[in-house]
Structure 1
Amino acid sequence: MKLDSAVFLTRIGITPVESKGRRENMRAGIVGLPNVGKSTLFNALTSSKAAQSANYPFCTIEPNEGVVSVPDGRLERISRYIVPKKLIHAALRLVDIAGIVKGASEGEGLGNKFLSHIREVDAILQVVRCFEDPDVVHVAGAVDPISDIDVIEIELMLADMQTLENALPKAERTAKSGDKEAKLRADAIRKCLDHLGTDQPLRKLTLDEQEAAAISSFGLMTAKPILYVANVDESDLAGKGPLAMKVRERAAMVGAGMVPVCAKLEAEIAELDEADRAEMLAGAGLEEAALPALAHEAYRVLGLQSYFTAGEKEVRAWTIPVGATAPQAAGVIHTDFEKGFIRVEVYTLDDLETYKSEKEIRAAGKLRVEGKNYIMQDGDICHFLFN
């Protein structure tokens, strides 16, 4: 059975947000212990030139948010044949969440407030310190990336357990009245609690569609997909050093993603103009900054893909979940497009590079007309027709 985008979003505890007819970008929360480089990385990724955070815990009290473009070379390739006034890349919303410490689930270090911010995001980017620096204190007194990962995981699991334990009595009381939805919710809660009791995060638990929907409103944090961002030293940009390799091995063991990033270097690069950025990257032996690799891996972790619209006004990438139908993809542009969807005309970038224009693609019979049941493919170039 196909997994459409609504089911996908429900499975990972996401409720699509709509604003003025358009769905909001997916939000990824940057989390970690204090002083691991979260805010430095956030400022670099969002090209912020604000002063870096002070070297002590809890310097970020409210979550900062920024929207970053997701680089995609296919836009430039499309624009060689359909010349637009502007190119618009897909976007990812990043949320810089204040440092989590041991005991956060019990309110330590304003933990309850910070954990509530994590409940509101769609995926977790955990920054893990993989560098030694005597001038940057570690909250635990020593650099140990696996210990850091475990601290965050345990606190999120404990917080999820509290959420479920608090919700269970009400669900059980309502279920006794014969409410089928409440019974399903109570069963799903007990299933989750049993799983958490084995010290495993909820992302490792398989729920059916009804079970996932029954508890989707809880914003369970360990059900969210996770990506480990190893904050490495400038001497280990490839993330092959012993500290980064520990993170790489843990990610492989739990089925998570891992991207090595030197936040300090990225912050310096972000302060430069384009020409100087290229020179500094070359000097560091890098072909590009960390954003492309991080954004693409975050896309993969979130289960996202892009499709394109192309015309003289703009060539644009749009973000959709893998498995989205054509009407759901149209709804990303505007909800009215989904409601009034009639059909979509689709062709590929390979078609465009072979036949050089939409007119020739159509003449060659390569322009496909798809209906409401069409499952969008990554890289589709589309014209939507709607009522």
Structure 2
Amino acid sequence: MALQCGIVGLPNVGKSTLFNALANNKAEAANFPFCTIEPNVGVISVPDPRLGELEALVNPQRVIPTSMEFVDIAGLVKGASRGEGLGNKFLANIREVDAIAHVVRCFDDENIVHVDGRVDPMADKGVIDAELQLKDLESIEKRLQRVEKIAKSGDADAKREVAVLKMYTEALENGNNARSVEASEEDLEIIGHLNLLTIKPVIYVANVDEESIHTGNEFVDALREGVKDENALVITVSAAIESQIAEIEDKEERDMFLEEYGLQESGLSRLIRAAYEILNLITYFTAGVQEVRAWTIERGWKAPQAAGVIHTDFERGFIKAEVIKLGDYQEFKTEAGCRENGKISIEGKEYIVKDGDIMHFRFNV
């Protein structure tokens, strides 16, 4: 499944620096390529050490990681909800993405002027939130006008929808994002077709200076406190460090550079993991001499749904799945070794796929 993460943020918060660091990431180009498919869209393969472990065991002709699209969404100004600046394009782009990475300035630097002349992450967040909330209110109001007429005739479904729409209206009018509403599955289904902007999962990317990469600072603390009720994630990244990482082509040099900063991995890897976490995604693998490949699915999917990611025929004609755990594959070295030792389980249509499963599907169409 193609996963899109939109990068948003006010001017001079580090959004473009971060996106450009992704686009210029030379060090991982061989195994984890990034290619720009439009000026503001890049596709990057998802780094997963388990792929390398499987490659060493299987020695396939090719290895195909799963991928994620990053969309550098045009800079936002006050009034975007009314079409100011690139507002309409911004809002159209953000409607398409699965998750939002909201880059927030959490560093002080007199050489980089803030658009409002101050560093205040919650105020920055508020500017973008307000524009998205206004657009969501507009979408809901249009829908309410239509549904209220039907509800007056006594239609029970319409009455239920009106109640849900008004619940979201109240939240938005109070300056809260739609994702902060405590809604039932049924409520979410009713509102789903509106594709609200502020209901999308969000990762707040606190862009800090090099000194604050491990400890954070008062700006990060304020951001964490301010979003604690939003069911959102906060990660700290230094766009300045990411820019330097992106320029290093040699993997050993890159590892040494990360070590110097006491970092285990790049901010990009943490951002991808955060996106997987907030979207409730997992990875399963297929492994054979032709290729070892990673596939992204939603947590909780059953075997036929997972098979359908490879091809719709696999889901339609699903018979069974053969499943090997990575630990067993590592212990017994080959698929044949796992079979001989009873480490291949045969699973039916109700099997819930686990993260890291190595799967082979049997189907008939």
Decide which of 91, 105, 113 is 2:67's aligned counterpart: 91
**8 Å Cα contact 2:103/2:206 also seen in 1:** yes
Partner residue in 1 for 2:13: 36
Within 2, Cα distance between the matches of 1:239 and 1:228?
17
Partner residue in 2 for 1:52: none
Q: What amino acid maps onto 2:129 in structure 1?
A: E
| More displaced 10-residue stretch of structure 1: 174-183 or 148-157 | 174-183
Please report the TM-score for the alignment, with normalisation by the length of structure 1: 0.84
**8 Å Cα contact 2:46/2:68 also seen in 1:** yes
Q: Deviations over 1:18-65 (max 9, x none)?
A: xxxxx4x1211111111211111112123368xxxxxxxxxxxx9711
**8 Å Cα contact 2:208/2:216 also seen in 1:** no
Q: Matched residues, percent identical?
A: 49
Decide which of 296, 321, 328 is 1:344's aligned counterpart: 321
Asked if 1:257 corresponds to 2:233, the answer is yes
| More displaced 10-residue stretch of structure 1: 94-103 or 242-251 | 242-251
Equivalent positions of 1:36-55 (< 5 A) are: 36-47=13-24
Q: Deviations over 1:251-271 (max 9, x none)?
A: 444332111111122123212
**8 Å Cα contact 1:239/1:260 also seen in 2:** no
Equivalent positions of 1:217-256 (< 5 A) are: 217-256=193-232
Within 2, Cα distance between the matches of 1:107 and 1:278?
45
Q: Deviations over 1:215-242 (max 9, x none)?
A: 3222101111110101111222225222
**8 Å Cα contact 2:304/2:315 also seen in 1:** yes
RMSD: 2.2
| More displaced 10-residue stretch of structure 1: 86-95 or 239-248 | 239-248
Q: What amino acid maps onto 2:210 in structure 1?
A: E
Within 2, Cα distance between the matches of 1:116 and 1:180?
33
Partner residue in 2 for 1:53: none
Partner residue in 2 for 1:303: 280
Within 1, Cα distance between the matches of 2:215 and 2:299?
29
| More displaced 10-residue stretch of structure 1: 248-257 or 371-380 | 248-257
Q: What amino acid maps onto 2:248 in structure 1?
A: L
Partner residue in 1 for 2:351: 374
Within 2, Cα distance between the matches of 1:83 and 1:176?
66
Equivalent positions of 1:151-162 (< 5 A) are: 151-162=127-138
* 2:77 match: secondary structure: coil
| More displaced 10-residue stretch of structure 1: 283-292 or 155-164 | 283-292
Q: What amino acid maps onto 2:13 in structure 1?
A: V
Q: Which has the higher contact order (CA 8 A, sep 6+)?
A: 1
| More displaced 10-residue stretch of structure 1: 355-364 or 377-386 | 355-364
Stretches of structure 1 that go unaligned for 5 or more consecutive residues are 1-22, 50-61
Stretches of structure 2 that go unaligned for 5 or more consecutive residues are 27-37
Shift of 1:139: 1.1
* 1:28 match: secondary structure: strand
* 2:168 match: secondary structure: helix
Decide which of 335, 338, 350 is 1:358's aligned counterpart: 335
Within 2, Cα distance between the matches of 1:201 and 1:160?
9
Decide which of 29, 34, 51 is 1:75's aligned counterpart: 51
Shift of 1:165: 0.6
What is the aligned residue count?
A: 352
Partner residue in 2 for 1:168: 144
**8 Å Cα contact 1:309/1:382 also seen in 2:** yes
